[in-house]
Amino acid sequence: MNRSIALLAPLCLGLGLTLPVLAQEDEFQTVITPAFSPVTWERLINAEDEPENWMMYSGTLDSQRYSRLDQIDKSNVAELEMKWSYQIPVIDRAETVPTVVDGIMFITEAPSNLTAVDARTGRVYWRYDHELPDDLRICCGRNNRGVAILGETLFMSTLDAHLVAIDARTGNVLWDTEVADYEAGYSKTAAPLIVKDKVVTGIAGGEFGIRGFIDAYDPATGELEWRTYAIPGPGEPGNDSWSGDSWKTGGAATWITGSYDPDLNLIYWGTGNPGPDWNGDVRLGDNLYSDSALALDGDTGEIAWHFQFTPHDVHDYDSIQVPILADIEYQGSTRKVMMWANRNAFFYTIDRATGEFLEGDAYASQTWAQGLDPTGRPIRVPGMAPTYEGILVSPPIVGATNWYSPGYSQQTGLFYVTSFDGEQEFFKRDEDYEEGERFTGGGGRYNQPMDAFHSSIRAINPATAQIEWEFPIMPRSSAGITTTAGGIVFTGSADGYFFALDAATGEELWHISLGARVHAAPMTYAVDGKQFVTIASGNVVYTFGLKDD
């Protein structure tokens, strides 16, 4: 049975660590959060004006992950110290980006749980456990990356492909909607996105031959408002880009949170690889709208335009990266753009009103394409598709980057991405589709250890698509990035370091070893006039601040 677990006062042990003491199951008592101002749509539109809060997965609707907080800056970031930490009870990989509203932090936990804590101290208010079936079919880990909030209600995706609404004050379930059939391979791991009066959310499970989609739900009832499939059906434009009936099992999952432009009323969302991943012989054609950016009408979900990064992908180059929106100076005028560092190793600047390709270039090593044509379509190198014997291609299956969040600084005008220069042998195999079973058509193999390759944080000028600086990281990182008005880039590494860089130059300003892989993005907030920075590492959520006066 799903339930909210009320917690007694936690026991605090050294270094600010909070270890909650659970009440006995027959002695639960509601421990509600302190009152907070309901999170209206108006507040979400103007989220950058409340830098003390972090009210959605990427901080703001444009997904820049840029905070106006500047109490922690280049001059004092080296003085950061740990203020508190929260131990996630279920041992698993933490990919959460907490949400903070008026001094209350909401932390999602693997596999599909949610906890509310005091953002000042880490003291637990309540915890919600979502019970999961034993026969889950998931691809890539028991992950949950965050929540959305509207009013006093939190919205969370679950691994069994449900969308759950939870009272933010008490942790009680308000409604629980089954989005898709988990037994067919559908699952959900990403934070939803609030758009006006709707909860917009994607779906995972591309390695199981699903048909991807983007949904919008009524926040009060959990009823489906609209659904837009990432693969067009018969009679719809683009269906003829799939041979035969291959569209039915074509993948194109939508498993990371998108962005929204209120002025254009457009939702921007990335789609994943076509299925089967590595054997394209059974799905000839461009395979729309896999590996694409979709611009959807915020009211109806109708596709306004699309941009396909990798037509007929056979290397698993998902385009599920978080799209960053900004207005930049481009060739003498201000343009509304979408910036995208793709898993396929190319960076793109695209007009977000029309989908027009503006700039693009490789930002990491790649051998599969000669470059991009004037429309942004890749010019392929012949003979680089997977074979039965195997062929060496760069970037590898994990990509030049992946799902982890990039960042953008309004101060520098630079785009920041965690990048990887690697290569891998790609194989294909013949495989029949069976519902609920993996449907990948191949795989990959490294010929060298991971630390033989180059990994770095790269700063890219979106007006030129050129790299301005890079900061080497070894080994490969899978951490997201956050920037601040203090001139700082915060991120982490696979070997457990959390660190700060100068946003203008890439100079290292501070670091600390947390002892476990950073597999999430940092976020920053303020309470009582004090700025904090939070990051998940291993199975712990750490919060840092400046030394007290």
DSSP per position, 189-233: -SPPEEETTEEEE--B-GGGT-B-EEEEE-TTT--EEEEEESS--
* Tens digits of residue pLDDT in 459-513: 999 999 999 999 999 878 899 999 999 999 999 999 999 999 999 999 999 999 9
Mean pLDDT of all residues in 102-131: 96
Distance from C-alpha of 360 to C-alpha of 340, rounded to nearest angstrom: 9
Q: What's the pLDDT at 109?
A: 94
State what percent of residues in the chain have pLDDT above 70.
95
Mean of per-residue pLDDT scores for the chain: 93
Q: Say if residues 173 and 4 touch (Cβ distance below 8 Å).
A: yes
Dihedral Cα 132, 157, 182, 311, nearest 10 deg: -150
Q: Tell whether the model's pLDDT for residue 379 goes beyond 90.
A: yes
Q: What is the CA radius of gyration of the chain?
A: 22
CA distances (Å), 188 to each of 154, 181, 195, in order?
A: 16, 11, 19
Residue type, 127: R
Distance from C-alpha of 457 to C-alpha of 477, rounded to nearest angstrom: 9
Mean pLDDT of all residues in 112-120: 96
Name the least confident of 83-92, 373-382, 383-392, 522-531.
Answer: 83-92
Q: Say if residues 525 and 531 touch (Cβ distance below 8 Å).
A: yes
- Sequence-ordered list of residues with C-beta below 8 angstroms from that of 291, at least 6 positions apart, any chain: 252, 271, 272, 273, 274, 308, 309, 310, 311, 313, 317, 318, 319, 344
Distance from C-alpha of 56 to C-alpha of 353, rounded to nearest angstrom: 23
Q: Tell whether the model's pLDDT for residue 19 goes beyond 60.
A: no
Query: Which residue(s) pair with 511 in the sheet?
Result: 499
* Tens digits of residue pLDDT in 269-319: 999 999 999 999 999 999 999 999 999 999 999 999 999 999 999 999 999
Q: What's the pLDDT at 90?
A: 83
Q: Distance between the two ends of the chain, CA-based, in angstroms? A: 47
Quickly state the pLDDT bin for 521 (edges 50, 70, 90). very high
- To the query of whether residue 261 is one of the catalytic residues in this protein, the response is no
Beta pairing, strands 266-270 & 81-87: unpaired
Whole-prediction pTM: 0.94
Q: What's the pLDDT at 15?
A: 36
Q: Tell whether the model's pLDDT for residue 6 goes beyond 50.
A: no
Beta sheet of 213-217, edge-to-edge order: 193-195, 198-201, 213-217, 224-229
Q: What's the pLDDT at 549?
A: 75
Mean pLDDT of all residues in 108-137: 94
Q: Tell whether the model's pLDDT for residue 194 goes beyond 80.
A: yes
Nearest to 419 by CA among 379, 462, 366, 368: 366
- φ, ψ of residue 321 in degrees (nearest 5): -70, 155
Q: Say if residues 123 and 151 touch (Cβ distance below 8 Å).
A: no
Quickly state the pLDDT bin for 140 (edges 50, 70, 90). confident
Quickly state the pLDDT bin for 30 (edges 50, 70, 90). low
Distance from C-alpha of 260 to C-alpha of 267, rounded to nearest angstrom: 4
From the candidates 62, 215, 286, 316, which is the catalytic residue?
Answer: 316
* Tens digits of residue pLDDT in 417-456: 999 999 999 999 999 999 999 999 999 999 988 888 999 9
CA distances (Å), 412 to each of 323, 408, 462, 467, 516, in order?
A: 18, 8, 11, 13, 31
Q: What's the pLDDT at 28?
A: 36
* Tens digits of residue pLDDT in 233-281: 999 999 999 999 999 999 999 999 999 999 999 999 999 999 999 999 9
Q: Say if residues 275 and 249 touch (Cβ distance below 8 Å).
A: yes
Outline where DSSP puts E strands in 309-390.
324-330, 333-341, 346-351, 357-362, 369-372, 378-380
- Sequence-ordered list of residues with C-beta below 8 angstroms from that of 181, at least 6 positions apart, any chain: 161
